[in-house]
Amino acid sequence: MPRPWHAPLALAVVAVLVTACAPAEESEGEVAVVAHVVDGDTIRVDLDGEEVPVRLLNLDAPEKDGPYTEAECLGEEATAFLAALVPPGTEVRLVEDVEPTDRYGRLLAGVYLGEVLVNAEVARAGLAVPVLVEPNDRFHDAVVAAHDEARAASRGLYDPANGC
Domain ranges of the chain: 6-162
From the candidates 55, 124, 138, 155, give the one annotated as an active-site residue: 55
Q: Catalytic site residue 63? A: yes
Long-range contacts for 129-135 (Cβ within 8 Å, ≥24 apart)?
129/59, 129/60, 129/157, 130/58, 130/59, 130/60, 131/58, 131/59, 131/60, 132/58, 135/97, 135/98, 135/99
From the candidates 76, 77, 93, 106, give the one annotated as an active-site residue: 106
Confidence tier at 25 by pLDDT (50, 70, 90)? low
Confidence tier at 1 by pLDDT (50, 70, 90)? very low
Confidence tier at 27 by pLDDT (50, 70, 90)? low
The average confidence (pLDDT) of the chain is 85
Most confident residue range from 1-15, 62-76, 135-149: 135-149
Q: Catalytic site residue 93? A: no
Confidence tier at 154 by pLDDT (50, 70, 90)? very high
Mean pLDDT to the nearest integer, 3-10 = 46
Q: Catalytic site residue 55? A: yes
Q: Taking 60 as the threshold, does the pLDDT of residue 40 lie above it? A: yes
d(CA 85, CA 74): 16
pLDDT tens-digit readout, 79-108: 999 999 999 999 999 999 999 999 999 999
What fold is seen in the domain 6-162? OB fold (Dihydrolipoamide Acetyltransferase, E2P) (2.40.50)
Mean pLDDT to the nearest integer, 7-26 = 46
Determine the pLDDT at residue 114: 96
Confidence tier at 71 by pLDDT (50, 70, 90)? low
